[in-house]
């Protein structure tokens, strides 16, 4: 009578260990450089497919006032303690200046008043976090395209990098400083703005005061907050760990359209 039970016991044990082995193998692949590189080959495919399919100027969906979230979740840094930022915050960002430099003909330094005087756009859009949730808000800001045209991109420029004030990881030694980068297709997209207002009020600190990026066809981690400097570059490999962004350096996809 005990034979079938034993057999079943063996079968169960066998299946469980086969499962554990398979899972262990998956973890090993995940933790190996080649394994991740192989899996991440899908990212290039996704980016090319979306770039091919989606018109360069196709707009992200815009919503009505009634759709605006009352519980828009601030994520990542929500109250930066970096000394430079605290100094600016003390005076209500009156001394804030945005630098636009790198591979440009005419580097710019713009105060918030200067930024408000630029070609502006207001849009009610949905913010899609990589975690899976979405919140809707109204954003007003200066369009990035005309701004980088004022600075005049040099022909070698291929990416726009956003250097931020906030440290999201570790001590404030610059290594955990937030940054992001986008390509020129997204930089010139009509909905790509440097937002200084959210829901008709000045951008709150939790959401990136005084200036944050909105690049509406990408996930939330691309929407850099607390922007300090915008740099035009030919390549981002020399910046930080070379991934092109804070979360990209920590394993996330550079192309965050999915």
* Three-state SS sequence of 165-184: EEECCCCCCCCCEEEEEEEH
Task: Rank residues 46 and 111 by Cβ distance to other proteins and give the closer one.
Answer: 46
Task: Rank residues 111 and 135 by Cβ distance to other proteins and give the closer one.
Answer: 135
How many Cβ atoms from other residues are within 10 Å of residue 84's Cβ? 11
Task: Rank residues 12 and 30 by Cβ distance to other proteins and give the closer one.
Answer: 30
Task: Check binding of 66 to other proteins (CB under 8 A).
Answer: no
For residue 39, CA distances in Å to 33, 43, 47 come to: 10, 8, 14
Q: Which of residues 205-244 bind other proteins (CB under 8 A)?
A: 216-219
Task: Rank residues 98 and 136 by Cβ distance to other proteins and give the closer one.
Answer: 136
Least distance to other proteins from the beta carbon of 251, Å?
3
Task: Check binding of 190 to other proteins (CB under 8 A).
Answer: no
Task: Check binding of 61 to other proteins (CB under 8 A).
Answer: yes
> Is the distance from CB of 38 to CB of 140 less than 8 angstroms?
no
- For residue 35, give every residue at least 6 positions away whose Cβ sits within 8 Å of its Cβ, in sequence order, or none: 28, 29
Least distance to other proteins from the beta carbon of 84, Å?
29
Helices marked H in the chain: 2-30, 33-53, 83-90, 112-116, 144-151, 184-187
Binding mask 117-136 for other proteins (x = CB under 8 A): ---------x-xxxxxxxxx
Q: Give 104's DSSP letter.
A: B
217 phi and psi angles, rounded to 5 deg: -100, 20
Q: What residues make contact with other proteins under the rule CB under 8 A? A: 19-20, 23-24, 26-27, 30, 36, 38-43, 45-46, 50, 53-55, 58-61, 63, 67, 69, 71, 73, 126, 128-136, 216-219, 247, 250-253, 256-258
């Amino acid at each position: 009578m005990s034979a079938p039970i034993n057999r079943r016991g063996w079968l169960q044990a066998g299946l469980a260990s086969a499962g554990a082995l398979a899972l262990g193998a998956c973890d090993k692949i995940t933790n190996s450089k080649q394994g991740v590189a192989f899996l991440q080959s899908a990212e290039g495919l996704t980016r090319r497919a979306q770039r091919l399919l989606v018109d360069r100027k196709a707009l992200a969906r815009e919503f009505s006032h009634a759709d605006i979230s009352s519980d828009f979740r601030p994520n990542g840094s929500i109250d930066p303690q970096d000394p430079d930022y605290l100094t600016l915050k003390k005076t209500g960002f009156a001394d804030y200046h945005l630098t636009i430099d790198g591979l440009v003909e005419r580097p710019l330094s713009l105060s918030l008043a200067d930024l408000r005087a630029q070609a502006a756009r207001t849009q009610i859009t949905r913010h899609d976090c990589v975690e899976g949730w979405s919140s809707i808000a109204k954003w007003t800001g200066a369009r990035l395209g005309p701004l980088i045209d004022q600075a005049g991109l040099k022909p070698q420029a291929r990416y726009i990098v956003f250097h931020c004030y906030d440290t999201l990881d570790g001590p404030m030694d610059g290594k955990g400083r937030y940054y992001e980068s986008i390509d020129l297709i997204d930089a010139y997209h009509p909905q790509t703005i440097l937002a200084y207002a959210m829901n008709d009020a000045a951008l709150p600190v939790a959401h990136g005061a005084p200036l944050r990026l909105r690049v509406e066809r990408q996930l939330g981690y691309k929407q850099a907050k607390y922007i300090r400097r915008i740099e035009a570059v030919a390549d981002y490999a020399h910046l930080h760990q070379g991934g092109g962004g804070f979360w990209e350096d920590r394993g996330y996809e550079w192309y965050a359209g999915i």
